[in-house]
Structure 1
Amino acid sequence: MKGRTIILDHLNGREAAALMLDGQLEDLLIACDAPAPGTIYRAVADRPVKGQGGMFLKTPDGNAFLRQIKGMAPGDELLVQVTGYADEGKAIPVTHRVLFKSRYVIVTPNAPGINVSRSIRDEDRREEILAVVHDTIDTVPHGIILRSSCAAADDKDIADDLISMLALADQVLNDDGKGPETLVEGDEPHLLAWRDWVEPAEVVTDEGSFETHGVLDAIDALSSPRVELSGGAFAYVEPTRALVAVDVNTGNDTSMSAGTKANFAVAKALPRALRLRGLGGQIVLDLAPMPKKDRRGFESALKAALRADSIETTFVGWTPLGHAELQRKRARLPLTELLN
């Protein structure tokens, strides 16, 4: 099956969305019971955490943890937004810098100005997009980011999205309620797919389409930690309580460059392997043997692959044993938890 296909269905009674690229599962979203990233609360400061510069907050979904609390005291009320999923037994991670994100527009109340995505390089189109903003609203009350999806979008769709997001921002920012309350729910998988998978694709919404389009088989394959790489190499991606371990193997290749080729292959494949399995936190790569002179090229290849991924991941550096370390945002729950 060639091309891009977005499949909207349900999995074990949960809303789910899959992105297939040339017959291969490229991304997978599954609803869960935990508050989704993007959820906005009116929260109440509870107690500070000495030595960590943070504060526990009360929310309708339990305790949340906020860093950077200068000037905040217990009992204060504030708006916060969920940034990711908490580890088991930990508080919900939140930020006080709330964003209102949709398919074409991101409204940023704490960062004024109008910005067009740098990936839109056609200067004429950039000017047209800015003109849409100025033709739609008289004043700019908040910061606005025009996303890369605006490049091929209809101007009316951009204007409608802008009006909708500004109205939502005003509603939330002008909230005068009291006590912990959920003001905006985080997006569910079907809405997330519409919001973030913006490249042209066939959209399938028939019930049972996960089975007919091979999504279930692809999910079953993810139960194995083994990831096949180009050239016959392979890797094992295995989560532990402390970190995610990635072990790279050269397979049957016994050439002098086998280790370097396997490592470059895992650099390309790793973002997808982590994304589909919902893995984040500390990532440690036990790479195949390669000369130190090849490390810089490997870093460049890995960083390029991570920049193209939708989940923020930072290359931290090398350990004395030659392991590469990454720090990845916990933007999703592990697939194993969602399937239980």
Structure 2
Amino acid sequence: MGDIYLGTVKKLVPGLNAAFIDLGYEKDAFLHYLDLGPQFKSLTKYSKFVQTNSKATSKLNKFNLEKDIPKDGKISQVLTKNQQILVQVVKEPISSKGPRLSCEISLAGRYIVLVPFSDVISVSKKITEKDERLRLTRLVTSIKPENFGVIIRTVAEGKDVAELDRDLRTLVKKWEDGFKALKTAKPRDLVIGELSRASSILRDMLNESFDTISIDSKESYDEIRNFIKTIAPDKEKIVKLHQGKVKLFEAAGIEKQLKTLFGKSVSLPGGGYLIIEHTEALHVIDVNSGNKSNAESDQENTALAVNLEAAKEIGRQLRLRDMGGIIVVDFIDMKKADNRRIVYEKMREEMKDDRAKFVILPLSKFGLMQITRQRVRPEMNISTLETCPTCNGTGKITASILVSDQLENNLEYIINKQNEKHIRIALHPYLHAYFTQGLMSRRVKWFFKYQRWIRMEKDTSLGITEFKFKNEQGEEIEIV
């Protein structure tokens, strides 16, 4: 999302008032007339000018803007087949659908969003204080280039002109780099790339509460450190490269959390639980009381208590899984209208800080709540079911106790035949305990047998009968 491409119009569909654009993806991208933007003619005129004129410049101050296109126009009036146009991805491919596009180009920064071919300055609605809105508008008006519009983001509240100016300069530089790429671009080429997912999260969420940012990839570490140096130089020192032998997610306990968070069933603290089902058209969440029904004196109080707990967890699950589209929640039935209103308000409270746009409808008389949540990329769905590594899903395995013999045979082969000096074994915690527990554990016996200490590390991402041999550099050892 956010990437800007030079696309080619493959097909016009007057019935939908839309066009399908070739970006090089397996499915053509969808562009509706309403997503062309009022300044579409200015954008296409500028694109052609840049590609055909060697004296073209990235500055827009001397560029004559075209008239806005009509809001009720037809796609065939402004686009022709095989025409090349500059487009931006606003929704990633989801399920059987290709990407969704817009021609209203915008470049997002930490505090502001830069909008070429516009002169409008708008301020986030979440900044409510009148004096602050006026201050920010005046500041941005004094520093923005001509023929560039600006959207001031919520996090800009209270920031001084130096911080806003630095952010603006970064975005203008990004536009200039895109201009250079456009001069030589061919159809399907990426003209301006959005930040990586990690960098875009930090751009939007980095604040004073961050005390450490741990990264386990040298490439990502260099990228993010340079990015932090640009947007928040005082925070550069908190970026750390994880160099431990144990994987970062394992060391931080995240691997285990992922296994418990993304299952079909989600437990609630008070004994209730959620069942989350996904279909092509919508997501369905069923709220169940579990053993909570024994804890309250009457059914209505039980239902209210479980529903309030469920509302809190549902708000969290929507963000964790990035669930979008239509979500239907089947709360436990409550007879009192006041209780239904309390649950509705609780749901609104839990979702108020959600960065995606959403609409929540009050509970129906059947106890159903309908939620629509902005969906711009495929839902995060981590499968927590493990295919048996021995049977590969057939349901039949050889005796599981043989895994210890297999591991020891491989170890002996690696030491004696492949002559590996420093060996580490990554394996499931159950296997780890089997080989390491006790005064005369299997590992101690290996020490006496091979005259070397074999290091073993727990890895909950592996199946219960899986193991991996690694060398001193952490690379997996192939048995040849």
Per the normalisation by structure 2, the TM-score is 0.56
> How far has the Cα of 1:170 moved from its partner?
5.8
**Pair 121,92 (structure 1): closer, same or farther in 2 beyond 3 Å:** closer
> How far has the Cα of 1:248 moved from its partner?
0.6
Task: Letter of the 1:86 partner, please give it.
Answer: P
Which of the residues 263, 269, 274 maps onto 2:318?
Answer: 274
Which of the residues 137, 141, 152 maps onto 2:147?
Answer: 141
> How far has the Cα of 1:100 moved from its partner?
0.8
5 Å-filtered alignment, 1:157-176, equals 157-169=163-175, 172=178, 175=182
5 Å-filtered alignment, 1:89-238, equals 89-109=96-116, 112-121=119-128, 126=133, 128-137=135-144, 139-151=145-157, 153=159, 155-169=161-175, 172=178, 175=182, 177-200=185-208, 201-205=210-214, 206-207=241-242, 208-229=247-268, 231-238=270-277
Give distance in 2, aligned partners of 1:111 and 1:259.
52
**Pair 322,110 (structure 1): closer, same or farther in 2 beyond 3 Å:** farther
The RMSD of aligned alpha carbons is 3.1
5 Å-filtered alignment, 1:268-307, equals 268-291=312-335, 293=337, 294-307=339-352
Matched, 1:260 2:304: yes
Q: Which deviates the most, 236-245 or 226-235?
A: 226-235
Asked whether the 8 Å contact 1:83–1:93 carries over to 2, the reply is yes
Q: Which runs of 5+ in 1 are unaligned?
A: 1-36
Task: Letter of the 2:360 partner, please give it.
Answer: F
* Structure with greater helix percent: 2
Task: Letter of the 2:202 partner, please give it.
Answer: W
Q: Whose relative contact order is higher, 1 or 2, with alpha carbons under 8 Å and at least 6 apart? A: 1
Asked whether the 8 Å contact 2:329–2:368 carries over to 1, the reply is yes
Give distance in 1, aligned partners of 2:118 and 2:356.
21
Which of the residues 9, 26, 38 maps onto 2:2?
Answer: 38
Asked whether the 8 Å contact 2:95–2:378 carries over to 1, the reply is no
5 Å-filtered alignment, 1:7-86, equals 37-49=1-13, 51-62=15-26, 63-68=28-33, 70=75, 71=77, 72-86=79-93
Q: Which residue of 2 aligns with 1:323?
A: 368
Q: Deviations over 1:137-172 (max 9, x none)?
A: 4x4422212222223545423211112213434664
Task: Letter of the 1:161 partner, please give it.
Answer: D
Give distance in 1, aligned partners of 2:301 and 2:288.
13
**Pair 221,337 (structure 1): closer, same or farther in 2 beyond 3 Å:** closer
> How far has the Cα of 1:296 moved from its partner?
4.0
Which structure has the larger Rg over C-alpha atoms? 2
Secondary structure class of the residue paired with 1:156: helix
**Pair 188,292 (structure 1): closer, same or farther in 2 beyond 3 Å:** farther
Give distance in 1, aligned partners of 2:310 and 2:25.
38
**Pair 118,230 (structure 1): closer, same or farther in 2 beyond 3 Å:** farther
Asked whether the 8 Å contact 1:97–1:110 carries over to 2, the reply is no
Task: Letter of the 1:331 partner, please give it.
Answer: V
Asked whether the 8 Å contact 2:344–2:363 carries over to 1, the reply is no
Task: Letter of the 1:65 partner, please give it.
Answer: F
Per the normalisation by structure 1, the TM-score is 0.76
**Pair 210,185 (structure 1): closer, same or farther in 2 beyond 3 Å:** same
Secondary structure class of the residue paired with 1:220: helix
> How far has the Cα of 1:54 moved from its partner?
2.4
Percent of residue pairs bearing the same amino acid type:
23
Task: Letter of the 1:66 partner, please give it.
Answer: L
Task: Letter of the 1:195 partner, please give it.
Answer: R
Secondary structure class of the residue paired with 1:232: coil
Q: How many residues align?
A: 303
> How far has the Cα of 1:121 moved from its partner?
4.9
Asked whether the 8 Å contact 1:279–1:332 carries over to 2, the reply is no
> How far has the Cα of 1:64 moved from its partner?
0.6
Give distance in 2, aligned partners of 1:337 and 1:227.
14
Give distance in 1, aligned partners of 2:88 and 2:311.
32
Give distance in 2, aligned partners of 1:97 and 1:67.
12
Q: Deviations over 1:213-252 (max 9, x none)?
A: 2222221212322333354332122223332110011231
Task: Letter of the 2:312 partner, please give it.
Answer: K
> How far has the Cα of 1:196 moved from its partner?
1.2
> How far has the Cα of 1:314 moved from its partner?
2.7
Secondary structure class of the residue paired with 2:255: helix
Give distance in 2, aligned partners of 1:140 and 1:276.
40
Asked whether the 8 Å contact 1:84–1:329 carries over to 2, the reply is no
Q: Deviations over 1:29-55 (max 9, x none)?
A: xxxxxxxx1111121111133543322
Give distance in 2, aligned partners of 1:151 and 1:283.
33
* Structure with greater strand percent: 1
Give distance in 2, aligned partners of 1:271 and 1:189.
22
